[in-house]
Structure 1
Amino acid sequence: MVCDKLEWRDLRAALAAGARDFLACPQFGLFFAIIYVIAGNLMSHALLTGGGGSWIFAAAAGFPLLAPFTAVGLYEASREREAGRKASWPQVLGALRGQGDDQLLMMGGFLFVGFSFWMILAHGIFAIFMAESGIGTHSLDLFTTPAGLAMLVVGGAVGAVVAYVFFAFTVASLPMLVDREVDFLTATFVSLRLVGRHRAVMLGWAVIVAVLLTLALLPWFLGLLVALPVLGHATWHLYRRAITFAG
């Protein structure tokens, strides 16, 4: 099921195909990206005005964990274009139901739990390093004090590990749940196998996704209006290149 050969040029081809899909049907990508941008800004505003400033960096860093589930509709749009058909709104929005079972929703719940876990973990790291300093995560003193720098290094390293684990779980499983009638455990196993078999290339893809999504958060999440649709469509094409089915 997992292809024997996956190369760096496959990543470039996936990104190029993702950009073409976005340009061909931008309404779908912009629709999901706008929801994501609005949600991100509302979350940031609520944290800052509600006294939750110490959570703001953790929330911004963990928010991309939810991006794969946001892109589910884009997988369906790319699937329709690949089949030579024009995607419609009912099809794209209906993709959130997967194959009509609860498997995709279960995976979405898993991602939400993961995001919540990261928020708690990140807040714990902040408390360990900064509890006695009186410095909030929105303060520039984070970048000028030894405790702040240590917290950023440790938090960044832990966050990278958490993000990669969720990347490994979802990079192929979410497209597969849109494409095939399989249970989410089988889809997750295939995704982990893909990452395990092609470690270097898939790590490269994870870095590309992480860098583009991180840059897209500034300013005010607006870069996601382009980055999220292109990466969503591209993930579908990478899945189609990496996973094959008999018959």
Structure 2
Amino acid sequence: MSNMLLYEELENKVAVLTINRPDKLNALNISLLQELASTLERIEQSDIRVVVITGAGTKAFVAGADLEEIAACSPFELWSFLRQGQNVLRLIEGLSKPVITAINGIALGGGFELALACSLRIAGEKSYFAFPEASLGLMPGFGGTQRLPKAIGKTVALEYLLTGSKLSAEEAYRLGLINKVVKIDELRSKALEMANKIANQSPAAVRFILQSVQGGYELAGERGELLEAGLTALCSATEDSREGLAAFKERRKPVFTGC
């Protein structure tokens, strides 16, 4: 693994990924996206239970895509770069383990889009979000025009997409985009606290919950409920379910294996 993406595997099967280009405000380039994709694919096949993604330093989580690379791209090369970014964000969104993003500064463009793809979001109190692409003659291309309206509604999303206005951490929390806003020096500890709480749950149940929420999000009414009922029935057939019920009956802490 290069020094652009740092990997830590902590106790309780929690992994921390740090985007490490502080001199470029952690901007995303082609090599970094490739490395992030391959790392996520390895995590998917591992026994890691929760992933935390953050940025190096205190100025920026991710200040978007690397504009120097974008400026040198032909339209076809840009299309390829954008598709690569979209694929990475879909990997994050579809991972069978929760992904918590610890937002340690500005999250612009692709950085905002990366945060939107994560399961849960914790932000430092001075962090802010924006889509500045229109002021550059561009538009969001890593899924921002799709995920932001689903998260906060079409009308409010369009305001931020079209004007490029900054969205403070507190305002993002009010809109339901952020789970917690914390002091920057507490960001890592609060993210790991949440990660460890999840890691102590049944990995099988967590996996099915993620699948139900993500799959049902695109379905209406009863179809989503049918998906939920089916996944709940499958979840009840796991070893984790039997262990959880036995531990409850025996008044002890369950030992989950993810099976």
User: Does TM-score exceed 0.5, indicating one fold?
Assistant: no
Q: TM-score, normalised by structure 2?
A: 0.24
Q: TM-score, normalised by structure 1?
A: 0.25
Decide which structure has greater strand share.
2
Bigger RCO of structures 1 and 2 (CA < 8 A, at least 6 apart): 1
Decide which structure has greater helix share.
1
